[in-house]
Structure 1
């Protein structure tokens, strides 16, 4: 199983020196990938509860960087690690601009981009970017149409229910052909169906592993029904540790536990068949130096298992 680490693009460590330290240290340690998230708003009282824990949005989100700009910065200071978004709210950009941005980043990173898309949970953010909250699924489908057509075509145009793009020559191509892998974070039956039928993989959040693998089975079956090879789909599991000083009841995991418990969870995920797991220590109270230390101890613990 591949292991990844979240870049400090949220909170007090979201500074150039923070990204430099984490991306260089992670690559030196032997991590396989680096990941960023996406926020445009941090309301004092969000219009919808945060879909995790007690429903409170992490206050680290009040300080947020642009994910693609941050990954471009990380790309310029690394040579090996893959660079992923978990998740990029791709519907906030016109799809032609999204295609240009992703193509540029994949080219500048020499083919290390993983595109992880998500629809988000906060209607307020859609209001802020003048994109309707309703109809997100249809907008996502057409956005994916545009990305696939743009990457595959030398001369491209698009006429759809939501977007019209006049004919253009497409000279710039991503390093990865036909394009970088596009994964989706989704948990509803419709979302799982969409992953199996259209996407390159799944971006779940940490949950009890039997439930995780049951959902993965649904995705695999949908791929088969769509005449796709399910073996080509990948899963990259996000873990947001809530670290405790003492061991928690196993029923609390993976919501909260010691670092050793999270190491055991990662080992069990590898045995269950998870392809990649990435950890975000940015939602702990730890400062940057402690986060780097935790990242090293976590990697050593999982790899030695």
Structure 2
């Protein structure tokens, strides 16, 4: 199992120095990947409730950096570590534009990008960006198909319910197709994994829930990636036990997140490197420590 960490993206830490410091520290300390979340705007008036917790981790005053731009900066400031989204709200963007951005990052930092994508939940954000909320799941299916074509075929064309265009070129193509993980916990997300994804990206570090999700995934698509995002414990013993439980549940990778200030986050990462990662069963993968799983 690979272990990654979320990069600062909102509030006072959302600046070039802090972002690069955390990303370079993650690479130097043996983490496998770094991750960013996604929102474009924060509607001032909203009745839609955040479905994964009592509230969002950031406020309107905190702001939030655009994730693909941030990934490009991180990729340019590092040399080995993978970069990913957890998750990119794909229906807020045109798929050809996303495909072009990711192909550009992959051209400049080959083999390091993976996208966990989701259909989104914040209706008001869709409305503010003039994007249709209803039907977003079907639209995302077409978006993934278009992105995969853009990354593997030239020229190509597409004729679907939501997107319809003739032969086009979208070069350069990446040397290898970036992995697309489907975010979400419901049955619709799992069906989308089977039909359109390279894996399933869920939320949480409860070992029993993850083991059940591993079984559900293996029933429809054995061997695909199971990825999750969970909290970053500051207690070494608890962190070791949690990560071992996640690995034993059959998870392929975990993205750890923490709301600590940058200096404290890096100190926590240093603790993980010395007292958590090094104490778990591990193997070397492209120079990085990984828990066997």
Structure-2-length-normalised TM-score:
0.89
Q: Specify every segment of 5 or more residues in structure 1 that has no aligned partner in the other structure, as ranges.
A: 224-229, 244-257
Matched, 1:291 2:268: no
Higher strand share: 2
**Count of aligned positions:** 278
Give the superposed CA RMSD.
1.8
For 2:8 and 2:76, the matched residues in 1 are separated by: 16
More deviation, 271-280/56-65: 56-65
**1:2-50 Cα shifts (integer Å, max 9, x gaps):** 1101111122201001111001111111111010110122345532222
Matched, 1:279 2:256: yes
Instruction: State whether residues 12 and 63 of structure 1, in contact with CA within 8 Å, keep that contact through their aligned partners in structure 2.
Output: no
Partner of 1:238: 229
Matched, 1:302 2:267: no
Q: CA deviation at 1:119?
A: 1.8
Q: CA deviation at 1:236?
A: 1.9
For 1:166 and 1:216, the matched residues in 2 are separated by: 40
Q: Specify every segment of 5 or more residues in structure 2 that has no aligned partner in the other structure, as ranges.
A: 281-293
Partner of 1:109: 109
- SS of residue matched to 2:115: strand
For 2:203 and 2:150, the matched residues in 1 are separated by: 30
Instruction: State whether residues 264 and 302 of structure 1, in contact with CA within 8 Å, keep that contact through their aligned partners in structure 2.
Output: no
For 2:97 and 2:161, the matched residues in 1 are separated by: 18
Task: Compare relative contact order (CA 8 Å, sep 6+) and give the higher one, 1 or 2.
Answer: 2
**1:225-267 Cα shifts (integer Å, max 9, x gaps):** xxxxx22x11221113476xxxxxxxxxxxxxx5642332112
Structure-1-length-normalised TM-score:
0.85
Q: CA deviation at 1:157?
A: 1.3
Instruction: State whether residues 118 and 186 of structure 1, in contact with CA within 8 Å, keep that contact through their aligned partners in structure 2.
Output: yes
